[in-house]
Amino acid sequence: MQIIENTKVKEKLYIEKLENGLTVMIIPKKGITKKYAIWGTHYGSIDNNFLVPGETEAIKVPDGIAHFLEHKMFEQENGTNSLDTLTAIGANANAYTTNDHTAYLFECTDNFEAAFDELADYIQHPYFTDENVEKEKGIIGQEIMMYDDYPEWVIYINAMKAMYKNNPVKLDIAGSIESISKIDKDILYKCYNTFYNPSNMVLVLCGDFDVEQMIEGVKKRLLPVKANGEIKRIYPEEPDEIVQKQIEAEMEVSMPSFMIGYKVKLEPEENVVKKHIAIEILLNLIAGKSSNFYKKMYDQGFLQSPLDLDFEFTENYSHVLIGGQSKNPKKVLEELNKEILETKKQGINKEDFERIKKMIYGEYVKEYNEVGNIARMFISDYFKGINSFEYLENYNQITKEYVDQVLKEIFIEEKQVISIINPKKENK
């Protein structure tokens, strides 16, 4: 067993790779009443073209299949639904699909063993029939249509389409009505057997656990499945350039919304954690709620609330996102570009840099106050090849000079897009 300790937050991470390939990560929290379990597979919406271990021909599956599979996993052969079963015993359960992983989770204060039994049972016993697959198409079809009417989602997907020519990150996680119509039980089993093999999965547990006992408890719940070989994922070549500078749509909104994106290229050997911290510092320095730019835009009435700032990345794509609402998104973009140009010329203010850096460190430390935050953070980082403690360990390496360099590398107008949702014009 590997033990990694972080003295800054006084936490220990225990990692055990089981015989069947499953990675188990346990972060014990003494005296905490809440327990959290999250079981994930390295299988997301972008994994729609792959080579099954042991086979020689790649297969292309319909878009949205990872999300479809997530929906179907709760339905049991005896007619019960595992979400209902977990709710009935007092566990707060859920599941989600992202671009790069799918996860099943629950948190509870009582009945942990019973809830864990249910989680292990439904994840290892898929039950797909022609009838229940057809029925699910209707349910997911409604969800897709609902998201099509959801401005926050449309603005995000449009930003992806403006940035990416071929990368499947530009596709809706749930797929389309047309793509899910091609899903059947055989293809679901094929994807399940490929991606839900223990060697492609990780289980993260956070709470007041005895580590050795918990490892034994995991082992006794596992079916005798052997680890399979490496799954070869096939992704299309993606050019460095953006597709289009601007993309606009009209929806039922009272005020225009916008999302500014920067397409980022991460080098294979790069320290992505260090770069991520630098980008967080830059985003807060340039456009955070204490920045000169935000204060100016707020005072002039162009922004009413702080902007959403984010850096999303996997080994296949990465981008910076700045989103919000404004009566004039193009004015916000223009002023943001001026601010970035000025900051590049002058260099980052030393005092502001130190202040923001401390604030971000405080936010990292705060993540360790809650078992759910810890578990979700560790699983998400795991699928990116990162141990979450690395953010605390890399923090001291971040210098003002390094952040100045990252500013010049990433915030480039040629790599910048804007997605705007305008209110629908009145029909004259």
CATH code 3.30.830.10 region(s) in the chain:
2-233, 246-423
Is the pTM higher than 0.95?
no
* Strand, helix or coil for residue 88: helix
Q: DSSP state, 289?
A: T
**Residue type at position 299:** D
- Burial grade of 220 (CB within 10 A; 0-12, 13-18, 19 or more): exposed
HSE-up of residue 34 (Cα within 13 Å, Cβ side)? 12
- φ, ψ (nearest 5 deg) of residue 302: -85, -20
Q: Which of 141, 147, 214, 228 is nearest to 180 (CA)?
A: 141
Q: What is the CATH number of domain 2-233?
A: 3.30.830.10
The topology under which CATH files domain 246-423 is Cytochrome Bc1 Complex; Chain A, domain 1 (3.30.830)
- Residues 6 or more apart whose Cβ sits within 8 Å of residue 308: 321, 322, 323, 324
Tell me the three-class secondary structure of 189-243, residue by residue.
HHHHHHHCCHHHEEEEEEECCCHHHHHHHHHHHCCCCCCCCCCEECCCCCCCCCC
pLDDT in tens, 262-284: 999 988 888 999 999 999 999 99
Helix (H, G, I), strand (E, B) or coil at 37: strand
Look up residue 279 and give its two tokens: 């980008």
DSSP 370-402: SHHHHHHHHHHHHTTT--THHHHHHGGG--HHH
Known catalytic residues? 70
The Cα angle at residue 153 between residues 148 and 158, in degrees rounded to 5? 90
Sign, CA dihedral 270-272-274-279, equals positive
Residue with tokens 């700045």: 322
Separation of alpha carbons 421 and 288, rounded Å: 22
Burial class (CB in 10 A: 0-12, 13-18, 19+), 79: exposed
CA distance 427 to 424: 9
Structure-block tokens of residue 27? 């972060």
* pLDDT given for residue 155 in this prediction: 96
Q: How far apart are CA 414 and CA 286, in angstroms?
A: 18
Residues in the chain predicted with pLDDT less than 70, given as ranges, are 426-428
- Give the pLDDT of residue 281: 96
Give the rounded distance of the alpha carbon of 242 from its chain centre.
22
